[in-house]
Amino acid sequence: MFLRIWILLFLVFLSYTIYLYINCDTGRQIPVERAVVAGRDLWQKKNCQACHQLYGLGGYMGPDLTNITRTKGENSTAIFIKYGTGKMPNLQLSDAEVQNLVAYLSWVDKSGTSKVPENKVHWSGTYLIDTKQ
């Protein structure tokens, strides 16, 4: 009797494993372009995060750059990175390097929003995550 139950459980386990293996969804991974990877490497090598945040994490000398390409546009972002300002250093990057960094920042931008809109903040200081985004 017990043996039959164990055999039955094993068969259920085996068929479910096979079902999952066949139906596993590999299409959900976001494809990453070469420029994005190169931009990510540069972001780390030049230590942009020492002064900037992504998702609110990082240094606080410069602004959060999670959604910079959405708010300022890719061209304006590229010009800032290329020439710097009085406060942002000119890091002497080539045009190709600047484009890779912009590609990386656009990719980060597509992953979500870092700032919580004012009307989403509850009076208690917490906020609801909008799952429809």
Binding site for ligand HEC (CB under 6 A): 46-48, 50-52, 61-63, 65, 68, 72, 77, 80-81, 85-89, 91, 101
Name the residue nearer to ligand HEC (CB basis): 13 or 83. Answer: 83
* Closest distance of CB 73 from ligand HEC, Å: 10
DSSP letters of 70-129?
A: HHH-HHHHHHHHHH--SSS------HHHHHHHHHHHHHHHHT--SSPPGGGB-TTS-B--
Q: Which CB sits closer to ligand HEC, 7 or 46?
A: 46
Nearer to ligand HEC, 28 or 45 (CB): 45
Q: CA separation (Å) from 40 to 6, 24, 36, 103, 115? A: 51, 29, 6, 9, 21
Min dist CB 16 to ligand HEC, Å, is: 47
Shortest distance, CB of residue 99 to ligand HEC, whole angstroms? 11
Give the SS3 label for residue 1. Answer: coil
- For residues 38 and 100, the answer to whether their CB atoms sit within 8 Å is yes
- Please, which residue, 12 or 61, has the CB nearer to ligand HEC? 61
The CB-of-55 to ligand HEC minimum distance in angstroms stands at 15
DSSP 8-state symbol, 9: H
